[in-house]
């Protein structure tokens, strides 16, 4: 059987959080729903921990710890943005376990979002998982599952341009 993961120009993106997979177009923020930052999926999390969806290097960590960027060894850039408008919380409810420059593997703990605090502050916990450099992507296949488990389930298959 043909397996795209055996090819060097293909990449699996794992769920960084456990929860329900949501289409980006369903998000209330047009920056994400209209794919201005990048393409991908979102997760409505039911657990606080954020795991690395890929092997790579941490390239971005917001001071408020509500978003993290990872670049894979293949050059694919991934942004995980915890919640919507959560930058306004100024870091309250967020914890980081990595710093810029750290190397990570699939399943490594990156961040923590206290879902209860975020919701009590009136913010959405919808978490976009985006490919921000789509010019490198030949094909993005979203795996259509309702519920995903962090570090276990593949949420996107990416074929990179040659």
Catalytic residues: 81
DSSP the chain: ---GGGSTTEEEEE-SSSEEEEEGGGSS-HHHHTTSS-EEEEEEESSSEEE-SSSEEEEEE-TTSSEEEEEETTS-EEEEE-SBSGGGGTTTTEEES--TT-EE-TT-EEEEE-HHHHHHTT-B--EEEEES-GGGEEEEEE---SEE-TTTSEEEEEEE--
Strands lying side by side in the sheet with 137-142: 10-14, 154-160, 137-142
């Amino acid at each position: 059987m043909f397996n795209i993961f055996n090819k060097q120009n293909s990449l699996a993106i794992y769920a960084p959080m456990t929860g329900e997979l949501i289409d980006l177009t369903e998000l209330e923020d047009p920056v994400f729903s209209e794919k201005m930052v990048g393409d991908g999926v979102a997760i409505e999390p039911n657990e606080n921990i954020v795991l690395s969806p890929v092997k790579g290097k941490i390239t971005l960590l917001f001071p408020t710890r509500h978003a993290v960027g990872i670049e894979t060894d293949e050059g694919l850039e991934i942004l995980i943005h915890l919640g919507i408008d959560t930058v306004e919380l100024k870091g309250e409810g967020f914890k980081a376990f990595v710093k810029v420059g750290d190397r990570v593997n699939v399943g490594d703990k990156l961040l923590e979002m206290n879902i209860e605090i975020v919701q009590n502050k009136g913010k959405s916990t919808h978490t976009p998982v985006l490919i921000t450099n789509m010019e490198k992507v030949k094909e993005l296949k979203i795996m259509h599952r309702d519920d995903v488990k962090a570090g276990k389930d593949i949420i996107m298959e990416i074929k990179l341009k040659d």
